[in-house]
Each structure stands twice: as C-alpha cells, then as structure tokens.
Amino acid sequence: MKIVCIGGGPSGLYFALLMKRNHPEHDITVVERNKPYDTFGWGVVFSDATMDNMRQHDPKSAAEIQQAFNHWDDIELEIKGQRIRSGGHGFVGIGRKKLLNILQARCEAMGVKLVFETNAQSDAEYPDADLIIASDGINSQIRTQHQAVFKPDIVVRPNRFIWLGTNKLFDAFTFAFEKTEHGWFQSHIYKFDDSTTTFIVECPEHVWLAHGLDQADQDQSIAFCEKLFAKTLGGAALMTNARHLRGSAWLNFQRVKCEQWHTFNGNSHVVLMGDAVHTAHFAIGSGTKLAIEDAIVLSNLFDAQGHTPAAIAAVLAQYQAERNIDVLRLQNAAWNAMEWFEVCGLRYCDQLDGPQFMYSMLTRSQRISHENLRLRDAKWLGGFERWFAEKAGMQINPALPAPPPMFTPYTVRGTTLKNRVMVSPMAQYSAVDGVAGDYHLVHLGARAMGGAALVMAEMTCVSPEGRITPGCPGIYTAEQKAAWARIVNWVHANSDAKFALQIGHAGAKASTCIPWEGKGTDQPLESGNWPLMAASSYQYIDGVSQTARAMSRADMDVVLDEFVAATQAAADIGVDWLELHCAHGYLLSSFLSPLTNHRNDAYGGSLENRLRYPLEVFAAVRAAWPQDKPMSVRISAHDWVEGGITPADAVDIAKAFKAAGADMIDCSSGQVSKKEKPVYGRMFQTPFADRIRQEAGIATIAVGAISEADHVNSIIAAGRADLCAVARPHLANPAWTLTEAAKIGYTPQAWPKQYRAGKQQMEAIFQREKAQAAMAAQSPARATEA
C-alpha cells in the first residue's frame, strides 16, 4: 500500500513506523510542515500503561523513549500555605521535541520517507495514495475540508492557559494554587528532562480579564506568572517557546470530537487520527496517550485483516467502532478533570481544607476511586481517613485505622446519624386507602436493620388528591397516622437507624395507574379518577394525561394547611427527619420549573416568583416541625429540557431554601417533562449535589446510580455531598450497607445481634475472593491518568 501521513505528530509518526516495521513493502511518507528535527511545545505526559503498550509494539523506540523520559509517582499540592503529597500515580514525562525526534529517527531507520517544511492543505494533493492519515493536529485542515462528512463537534472552553517552562526541576507532578484580588490561578508543573520543567498557568476568563492579561504581551505575561508563583518557583525564571504566536500566547482549550472518523475521497481512503479527531484536556495528561494508542489499534487491525488496499474500508470501519468507545471513556474523564479545574476557584479553593481539596483533585476525573487511592498510596489515604474521621467528631485510637468516610457520623441539629448512607425514598405502590401496612413494615424494617443510618419512606401524600396512584401512602387520616406510628416504633425498637418521612403532593402527575396495573406507569386511571391541580393548567403527557387546573389562592391555602397537618402528624409519632418533596414535576415542583409554571401573577415568571409558594409551604412546615429535628428539601436540579431548570438555577433554589431554614438539599433531577434527555452514568447526579454544596453553602444529599461503597466513600471524602441516598441497590439487598462494609474489609461495622452469626462468614468470603483476584491479576494496578 501507499500511505501518506499528513502531520508529523506522535500519531502519524508512530503509525508510520509500526506499519513499516510490520510490512516493509509499504510505501509510507510522513509530511510535516516544520523543519527537520524541529517542533514546538514543552513536555508531554502519559501513563505507565501506555509505555507498556509501546514496549510491546516497538521495543526499540520504547527503549529510547525510556532512556529519555522522566518517571515519577508523586503528586504534590501547594495551596493556602500547605504542601501535601501523595504517591503511586505512575507518570511518564518527556519533552515533546525529544519524543518526536526519537520517532522521526526510528521512522527513517525503518525506511519511512519524511518530508519536512511542506504544508499539505488537502488530501487531494496525494491522489495515488491508498490510505491518507490526517494527523494534522487540533486545527486539522483535512478535517475542515471534509467537515460535512466528519461532522466535528468543537467546544471552546472558558479558561485561559499559557504553556511555559522553567529550568527549576520538580520531583513530583505539582499543582500550585495562588489567589489574587480577582480570583484563583493554578499551575500544572512536571519535569520532562534533566534541565527543564513544563509550567502551565491557568485561570478563568474573568480573572484573566480583570488582571488585564488580554492586553499583555508574552514578556509581560511571563513576568506576571513569575511574580504570582514566586514561592513555587523559588526565584527561577519562566520561559516561552511560543514566540511564533502573536499577542500574549494565552489560549483556550478546544474539545474536539468527531461523529465520523474516515471517508473515501474518490481516490484514497482518509482517516483522522490524534488531535485531529479527538482531544483530551491537559488536566488529565492523555492527549499523547490517545494519539499513540490510535496508531497501535489501527496498525493492529491491518495485521488482523490484511495489509492490502482491499482491506482498508473494513479496517477503518472497525477502527472507529472499536476505538471510539475507549476514546469517549477517556474524553469523559478528561472532561470531568477539565471542568474541575475550570470551577475550582469558585467551588473548592476557598471552601475545602487542604487534605479534602487534595482528595477532590486526585479523584476529579471519577476514574480514580477511594479504594484505587488505597492501592496507590495506602499511607496517605489512611492519614486522610484519620483526618476526616476526627473532623467528623470521632476519637480514633492511634493504634487502629480510621473508618472509611462513609462510616463516619453526621450530625444535623439534634440528630446524629451513625454513618453517611440513607435508604432513598422509593415508591412501592402497596398502600390500601393510603394506609401503610404489613408490607411497609417489613420493607422499611428490613432496611433499617441493614446498616443504613437513615431510612426514608416513599413520598407520603398530604391528601387523597395528592396521591400519585391509589397505592400510594398518605398521612391525612388517623388510621394512616397510626400505621406510620407502628413502623416508626418498630424501627426505633429494633435498630439504631433514624426514620424519615418525605411528604408531598403529586399535582398534575396524580390519579395514575399502579405501574403493574392498567396501562402502567404515568397513565391515567381507567376509572375512579380524581381532579388534578398544579401551578398551571397542563397535561404531564400531552394528549394522554388528565389536565390539571391552575391552583387558585384558595387552593394554595388548603394545600398549605394539608402540608402543615401532615407535618404535625409526623412529629406526633416520633419521625426523626422530614423531607419536603419539591422535585420530579409534583405539585411544588410544578411551581419551580418554567416548563410547568406559566402563571402571570406573583407566583409565576421570574425564579423569585416561582419560588414563592414552595417557600411559603416550607416556612409553614418548618414552623410546625420540631426545631431540634432536621428538615431537607428534594429538588430536581436539572430538568434535562431546554428552557427548564438548569444546575445554575438549582444553586439559587438551594440558597432560597437555605435562607428559609432548610438543613439539606436532596439533589435529584428530571421527571418534570417527558421531553427530558438525561445523560445517565454512574453517580450521574452527584455533580448537582457537589455544585449546590459548594456554591450555595448548604449540606447536600447525593442520589442516582450510587451502587457501591467506593462510590459513597469517594463522594463523601471529596466533599461532593454529606450523605448518599442509595435506592435500587437497597431493593436488591436490604442489608446493602452491611454487605458493602464486609466487601471493603471494614470489620468494625456492627450488625444486628440476630444476624451476627453471618457477619464473620460474609467477611471471610469477600476476603477470600479478594485474595483470589489478586493472585489472578499477578501484577499491581497501574495508574492510567495524570
């Protein structure tokens, strides 16, 4: 085959040498616009795992790279006068110029033709090529030429950064944070050869503008950064090698993601590779990793399917299908890391103490979990756990390890929870005339004995008309109150869990079928319907649902009184915790969302107005609820519909409820409109809890796809939430908390006396499984990100 690689970056060069190495008969040319053995940029970073991959595919170039690279395990944080270090992270740093020079020399030795000082602007310049690799970088001309086919999604991010260097040598990947009168700056620092260190300085756009850096030239920008990071630099100077750029050389990162990766131009197959098809933010240090692994995967596919022109189309289709999955996974992690650095000045730098800030930074991509940190640096994590437990008010025996964060206590008003796990409210649709029966006693009682600190019953309705279905429980009659009292008393007598009641009104989503009856979930009853009301007149499902009437002021007064009566009943029977349901499109939620509130009176329009009635209800309920008992509010922090509630709105909603006396915000999302398009994934709603906690300054409950101890520990330890509400895993296993404690080896976890005989056996089973898995792996876990 005749192959032309347009762009002499890591992906183009590495693909060329692998293809020539495996099949010397290929005619391969790399076309590069720069001069021979010349390039721009400082150091690049990739993981130990990528280095292992390169050793397998071309040992000679890997050996040369290994001789030139700098390897380190430690990450060091400098913030607010503190210096914190954690090890076991496994990075490789090498000068970009050195890396390319090694690959260039290796290509020449293999017989690859290198053409320099040639700016190839179109794949049409090489009509006799069978395969054209468009590895021409983030501003790819080939991608632009065929953008109708490749369909690039390019997002310019808000932070500004400048890529500098220094001759001061650092022995750890260092992150330094400095605050100015206008906001926070951060630097990403790593040594890449015996005399030089990369020094990237980053800040939000508004901070950059406030300091006038948009008007500064490169020398002025360097002088500013030298002064700002004088302590970190210790008198060393900063340098630039971007004199070819005009102005200050401060850049915005561009996230590139293409829908299609390859095309046929009539003569040649063209495929994008490296930054031309995808980018990963420097916060995770994986742009070079992606480029190298692109080359490896594509060359391996030719090995498997044949090095002939006839195989190209099938190879490229499989290349995109196979590679796209790994790339998206890493891009998502890089996106999380990038966003963390974009908002850290607003959310974390001031709010979190040094150790917790370090933990949050280390786990920013959500690829590194609590137990993965233990594998990397057990000593550091053990010290952090001790710090966290003591901050939670525990006295830890110096001779014993501290508990994981999920097993630390949490106190709200006069209530102390034994750990950070709660059973999320989950509709069971099993009440009769609103009365919680034996089913509810067994369901909630079993979970109270299962180790969670707080068991919250499903939404309990304040009136018959407020029920979602005929099977939903209420607390508006004496019989219902007595039924709940029986359950509360049982939980208190047989467990050390606290019991919470969530009160609400279904609004426009009321009078529907029990999910396993009639036409199913959200469908109106076939008979026996009751009238609906909401903030405005609308149907939850257009053309299907009953139409709710818009509430009058008289309706609002009646419903407010019903919420107060429900609150007083809950207080009478000894409920420990009350939650007001203002989420998921139910009645109070219908006031909050502009999707469902179309009023033109004092209760519609602006968010301030839309908040008015939910806050009136909250104030009345808070006044009726004992002052020494906690009260939370569940909100939909994102409607997932254009024009609906956004996470930024959720911060303002949380601030309003905090000012009214709320203790916590239970951060759910969606279910307000059937037009929603949520983005699911593990812990997918936790970012809402994190943002609200830091920006609104109120404690939060994280919910949604939290399914293992590692998730809970990571969320609580990083300060992303104060409690975790676990739902579906508790349906599968009432003793989820006890099981997870055994799984991670936390043996001090107490079990109910009746079940203690099973504790040791379960712990032994998990310990044996862990030992077997370790033996099967036969090698330590490797780090995968910077």
SS3 764: helix
DSSP annotation of 351: T
User: Which residues are CB-neighbours of 419 under 8 A, at least 6 positions away?
Assistant: 406, 407, 408, 409, 410, 451, 452, 453, 737
Q: Cβ–Cβ contacts within 10 Å for residue 478, how many?
A: 8
* H or E stretch at 724: strand 723-726
SS3 451: coil
The three-point CA angle 725-726-732 to 5° equals 160
> What CA–CA distance (Å, rounded) separates 357 from 376?
18
> What CA–CA distance (Å, rounded) separates 141 from 154?
14
Amino acid residing at 315: V
> What CA–CA distance (Å, rounded) separates 659 from 655?
6
As annotated, the active-site residues are: 586
For strand 152-166 and strand 251-258, is the pairing parallel, antiparallel, or unpaired? antiparallel
Amino acid residing at 170: F
CB 633 within 8 A of CB 500: no
Q: For 574-590, b where at least 16 C-beta lie within 10 A, e where not — what string?
A: ebbbbbbbbbbbbbbbb
Which ranges of 348-394 does DSSP label H, i.e. alpha helix?
Answer: 354-362, 370-376, 378-391
Picking from 675, 654, 579, 583, the residue whose alpha carbon sits closest to that of residue 621 is 579
CB 512 within 8 A of CB 527: no
Residue with tokens 């919420």: 563
433: region left, alpha or beta (phi > 0 left; psi from -120 to 50 alpha)? left
How many contiguous H segments (helices) and E segments (strands) does the chain have? 25, 30
Helix 59-68 to helix 48-57 angle (10° resolution) is 140
Q: HSE, CB side, 13 Å, CA atoms: give it for residue 598.
A: 10
For strand 533-534 and strand 251-258, is the pairing parallel, antiparallel, or unpaired? unpaired
Burial grade of 601 (CB within 10 A; 0-12, 13-18, 19 or more)? exposed
Helix 553-572 to helix 607-624 angle (10° resolution) is 40
> Tokens at residue 680, please?
């699911």
For strand 113-115 and strand 183-191, is the pairing parallel, antiparallel, or unpaired? unpaired
The partner residues of 524 in beta bridges, in order of sequence, read 512
SS3 content of the chain, % helix, strand, coil (to 5): 40, 20, 40
For strand 82-86 and strand 152-166, is the pairing parallel, antiparallel, or unpaired? unpaired
User: Which residues are CB-neighbours of 574 under 8 A, at least 6 positions away?
Assistant: 485, 488, 489, 492, 499
CB 40 within 8 A of CB 242: yes
CB 49 within 8 A of CB 783: yes
Residue with tokens 């956004």: 646
> Tokens at residue 27, please?
């005619």
Helix 48-57 to helix 287-305 angle (10° resolution) is 30
> Tokens at residue 581, please?
């349901």
Phi (first) and psi of residue 238, to 5 degrees: -105, 155
| The three-state (H, E, C) secondary structure of 415-437, written as one string | EEECCCEEECCCCCCCCECCECC
